[in-house]
């Protein structure tokens, strides 16, 4: 059995391209505009980084995103 090297960056680039086409198709054929809304409560650096990456991913494939930030004291 021979080993196969998997290049995650190449696979991710291909998937992002495919998702962009699908998002454009939803928009043009069905009038559907996918979106992601995130509510970030507090100022946890790990949470902020996670959300930043999700928003960047959305931008890459043409999905609108919205970030709503609330203080840690929100109830």
pLDDT, tens digit, 9 for 90 and up, residues 10-69: 999 999 999 999 999 999 999 999 999 999 999 999 999 999 999 999 999 999 999 999
Domain for residue 19, yes or no? yes
CA–CA gap between residue 71 and residue 62 (Å, rounded): 29
CA–CA gap between residue 24 and residue 33 (Å, rounded): 9
Domain for residue 63, yes or no? yes
**CATH number for the domain including 35?**
3.40.50.10860
Domain for residue 26, yes or no? yes
DSSP assignment of 8-50, as one string?
HHHHHHHHHHHHHHHHHHHHHHH----EEEEEEES--HHHHHH
Nearest by Cα to 27 from 63, 58, 55: 63
Range of the domain at 46: 8-70
Q: Read off the pTM.
A: 0.79
Domain for residue 1, yes or no? no
Phi, psi of 24 (to 5 degrees): -60, -40
Domain for residue 3, yes or no? no
Give the total number of structural domains in the chain. 1
**pLDDT on residue 54:** 97
Reported as a single tens digit per residue, the pLDDT across 37-51 is 999 999 999 999 999
């Amino acid at each position: 059995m021979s080993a196969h090297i998997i290049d995650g960056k190449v696979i991710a680039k291909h998937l992002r391209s495919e998702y962009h086409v699908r998002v454009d198709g939803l928009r043009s054929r069905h009038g559907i505009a996918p979106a992601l809304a995130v509510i970030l409560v507090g100022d946890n650096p790990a949470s902020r980084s996670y959300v930043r990456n999700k928003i960047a991913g959305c931008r890459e494939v043409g999905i609108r995103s919205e970030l709503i930030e609330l203080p840690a004291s929100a109830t």
